[in-house]
Amino acid sequence: GYGHVSSPPYGVTFFHRPTNRYSDGRLVIDFVAQSLSLPFLPPFRGLASSPSAAAHGVNFAVAGSTAIDHEFFVKNNLNLDTTPQSLLTQLLWFSKYLESHEGCRGKACRGALRDALVWVGEIGVNDYAYTLGSNVSGDTIQKLAI
């Protein structure tokens, strides 16, 4: 699991406490927010306890998430001790956020997003990392990838 990111040294450089992130506590989007004089974006899964924290945006990122749905890895015996969240999960959270906070769905959200900054980081690196760290042969991984 990812429990180790809840312990030092993760987060000690900036927040002086673990922040459940694979870094000193800040992500690239935190540096973007800081440069725009905005507060750090709260994680989507933490909004239930503080919905007003989303006034300037929300972070939908999940450490270790994949581009391909988790079920693909399970079906092909590529399941390591990984997060079950994928890009699809994050997109569903984004849609849920828009519905509950902006009152819109689908194309009706164009107005709400017109002046929004949407930041999308790298996608798919964990898909490769999980397959390379599995017991599945290289030939099988190559067949799955092609």
* 88-126 residue pLDDT tens: 999 999 999 888 877 888 888 888 888 888 888 888 888
Q: What is the mean pLDDT of residues 44-48?
A: 81
Domain of residue 97: give its range: 41-145
For residue 71, being part of any structural domain is answered with yes
- Asked whether residue 132 is domain-assigned, the answer is yes
- Whether residue 32 lies inside any domain: the answer is no
Its pTM stands at 0.80
Residue 35 lies in a domain: no
Residue 127 lies in a domain: yes
**pLDDT exceeds cutoff 80 at 80:** no
* Residue 3 domain-assigned (yes or no): no
- Inside any domain, residue 60: yes
Closest CA to 113 of 31, 57, 68: 57
Total structural domains within the chain: 1
Q: Quick check: is 91 in a domain? A: yes
Tens digit of each residue's pLDDT (9 = 90 or more) over 84-96: 889 999 999 999 9
